[in-house]
Amino acid sequence: MCGIVGCAGPEPVLPILLEGLTRLEYRGYDSAGIALQTGSAVWRRRRPGKLAELVAVVDDAPEATTGIGHTRWATHGGPSESNAHPHTDCTGRVAVVHNGIIENYLALAAGLGPSHERTSQTDTEVLAHLVEDELAGGSSLADAVRACLARVEGSFAIAAVNAGEPGLIVAARRGSPLIAGRTETSGLVASDIPAILGQTREVYVLDDDQVVEVRPGSLRVTTLAGEEVTPVRRRVDWDLEAAEKGGYEDFMLKEIHEQPQAVAETLRERLLPDGRLHLDATTLTEDQLRAVDKVFVVGCGTSYHAGLVAKYAIEHFARLPVEIDVASEFRYRDPVLDPNTLVVGVSQSGESLDTMEACRFAKSPTNKARLLVICNVVDSSMAREADAVLYTRAGPEVCVASTKTHLAQIAGLELLALYLAQLRGTLYPLEIHALVDTLRGLPTVIERALAHEDEYMEAGRRFVDVRDFFFLGRGVGFPVALEGALKLKEISYARAEAYPGGEMKHGPIALIEPGTVVVAVATRGRLHSKMLSNIQEMRARGATIVAVANEGDDETAAQADVVLPVPATHELFSPAVDVVALQLFAYAIAKARGCDVDQPRNLAKTVTVE
Ligand code: F6R
C-alpha cells in the first residue's frame, strides 16, 4: 500500500526521505518518487519499480531541506512514471503525494478550468490542480488544502509542498493513516511510524479531517474548518532494531520464529485474578457484554482466518452464536445487528479499509452494535473507533504475509471466548482455569513445533515444481487449511485451494489425479477419523499426501507420503500450532523458487482501498 514521508528541517532532506521510503517498503509498492522544495520551484523525480530505481536517478538533486516522498501501489492508472507520485500542478510549484482513493476525482477534474493540463491517469493529480487554483486566488497552502479537501469524497492521507512557502509541508487525512513527528529542529509527517523513527520518537496521531502544518521544529494541527486542535502526543518505545531482520534471512523467517513470544506477550497479564479479561481500552460494561446474544467476527485474509478459529472457540466455550464475515462483504448484505450484538473486528494493521468500514457500519446509529477490535497497531484507526480494544502485542510485522500477528490474534480471540464463557457461566471456573493454563502453555508448544523446522522445510523443498495444491481440514483444522493455502499462494505463487475435507466429494475431487499434492491437516480431534477417511479418498485417486499430524501418531503417518509433525494441544487451540508447519512448508517452497517472500508481487501490507 502507498507510503508517505515528509520532512522540513535544517539538514539536507534527500537522505531522510530515502531512508523513510526504505522503511515503508514493507507496505508493498510498485513505484516511488520524491519532491524537493527549492527556492523557486519543486524538483521532482519518480520511477516505476523498486526504490533502487529512484535512488539511481537522484544524483543531481539540488540541496534542499524540505521535501516529500512516496511509494505508490497502483489503483487508478498503472505503475508508470507518469502515474507515480508526487504529482505537480501546471506551474510545477505545487507537489502532492496521496494514499487512498479520491472517489469524486472525475467530477472534480471536470470542474477544473480548460487551462489545466493533466499528465497522469491518477485520481491524485486533480488535488495539485485544485490547490493551484486556490493559491492563484491568494490562499496560503494550508488554506488551499483545507478548501480542497472539503470538496473531496473518499479516503486519503496527503502531503503537499509549495515552492512559494519554504520550510512548510501541509498534510491531512481522512480514512488513511497519517502521523506527524517533531524534533527540536525538524517537523515530520508519514503514513507509518517506522518511516520517521530514524529521526524522532515523538509522534502525533492525527484524526480524520485534521490538517497538520509541519515546519522545522513545530507542528500546527487544525480541523478542515481551520479550528486549532491539540494533537495527542505519543512516545514510541520500540526501535528500528525491532523492525530489522535480526540475523534471519528475511523478515518472514524472523517473524515465524517470534511467534512464541508474540503469543506469550498477547496473553501476558490478560486475565485478572477475579477472572475478568484485561482489555487495553474499554467503555463496555460487564452487563453489556453479558447481554450479548450474538457475535459477528469480521476481518480480511489471514485475519479472517483467525476469526474463523474464534467462531469455533466462542460457540463451543461461550455457547453464543457466531457469524463470520469477510469484511469487504459485511456491510453490503443486511446483517441483523442491535446493541446486544458484539462485532469483533480483527486486523493486524487496524487500518484495512474493508474491516474499518465494516466496524463503522456495525457501530453506526442505525445498527448500534458493540465493537471490540483486536489489532496489533496501537492507536490505529480501528482501535480508535472501537468500544473496546485488545492489542495483540506481536511487535511490528514487516513481512507482507502475516505470520506472528495471526498467532497472536488466535491467542487474543481464545481469551475472548473464555472471558465470554466466564461471563455467561457456560463453563465452571475450574474448567476455565484449566483452559487458561493450557493457553498459557501455548508458546512452549509453538516452540516445540518450531523445533521441527528442518523437517517442514525439507518437505516443502520436495514440492518445488508442483503447480497445484489442495489443502484440506475439518473442524478447526479448516481455517488452518485456508491459512496454509493462502500463505503458499502469496509467497510462492503456486495455486492452492482449501476445502473442508468432507466437501471434496461434492465436486473438487474431480481434479484429483495421480501426483496431485494434498496437504491434510490431520491432527487429533473430534473429526480425526473422518479426516483419515477423506485422506483415503484422495489416496485412492493417486494423490500424494502431506499430513500435518501429531508427533508420534503412527496411524496418521501410515496414510501419508510426507508427515509434518506437530505437538498436540487442546483441539480448539491447535490452529496456533498446526499453522506453523504450513508457514514453513510454504516458506521453503517459495525460497526454493527464488521468490521474494517479504514483498510478494501485487500485494500490500496494509490495504487502505476498498
Ligand atoms: C496475508 C495477509 C493479508 C492480511 C489482510 C488483512 O498474509 O497479510 O491477507 O491479513 O490484508 O490485513 P489486516 O490484518 O491488517 O487487516
Q: CB–CB of 44/207 below 8 Å?
A: no
Write down the pLDDT at residue 113.
Answer: 83
Identical fold between 254-440 and 461-592: yes
Q: Which helix (H) or strand (E) holds 454?
A: helix 453-461
Q: In the chain, what's the furthest Cα-to-Cα distance?
A: 80
Q: Which helix (H) or strand (E) holds 393?
A: none
The yes-or-no answer on residue 505 being catalytic is: no
Question: Which ligand 1 atom is the nearest neighbour of the CA of 300?
Answer: 6
Q: Which three cell numbers stand for residue 480?
A: 488452518
> Would you list the domain boundaries of the chain?
3-244, 254-440, 461-592
Write down the pLDDT at residue 57.
Answer: 97
CA of 491 to the centre of ligand 1 (A): 13
Q: Which three cell numbers stand for residue 465?
A: 515444481
Nearest CA to ligand 1 atom 7: 401
Q: Is residue 608 lining ligand 1, measured as CB closer than 6 Å? A: no
From the list 254, 311, 591, 605, the catalytic residue is: 605
**Residues 79, 54: Cα–Cα separation, whole Å:** 14
Question: Which ligand 1 atom is the nearest neighbour of the CA of 604?
Answer: 11
- Chunked in runs of 10, what are the mean pLDDT values of the chain (610 residues)? 91 96 81 92 94 96 97 79 95 94 90 89 93 96 96 92 96 91 96 89 92 97 95 78 70 95 88 76 91 97 98 98 96 94 97 95 96 89 93 88 97 95 92 92 97 98 96 98 98 97 94 95 96 96 97 97 98 98 98 95 84
CA of 301 to the centre of ligand 1 (A): 5
The yes-or-no answer on residue 605 being catalytic is: yes
Residues 6+ apart with CB under 8 A from 434: none
Q: Spell 451-487 as b/e; 16+ CB within 10 A means b.
A: ebbebbbebbebbeebeebbbbbbbbbbbbbbbbbbb
For domain 461-592, give the CATH superfamily: Glucose-6-phosphate isomerase like protein; domain 1 (3.40.50.10490)
**Residues 25, 229: Cα–Cα separation, whole Å:** 31
Q: What is the 3-state secondary structure (H, E, C) of 89-141?
A: CCCCCEEEEEEEEECCHHHHHHCCCCCCCCCCCCCCHHHHHHHHHHHHCCCCH
Question: Which ligand 1 atom is the nearest neighbour of the CA of 401?
Answer: 7
CATH 3.40.50.10490 fits 254-440, yes or no: yes
Q: Which of 259, 302, 381, 486 to mutate to test the pocket of ligand 1 (most atoms within 8 A of CB)?
A: 302
- What CATH class does 3-244 carry? alpha beta
Write down the pLDDT at residue 2.
Answer: 81
Tell me if residue 456 falls in helix, strand or coil: helix
Write down the pLDDT at residue 596.
Answer: 94
**Residues 401, 251: Cα–Cα separation, whole Å:** 10
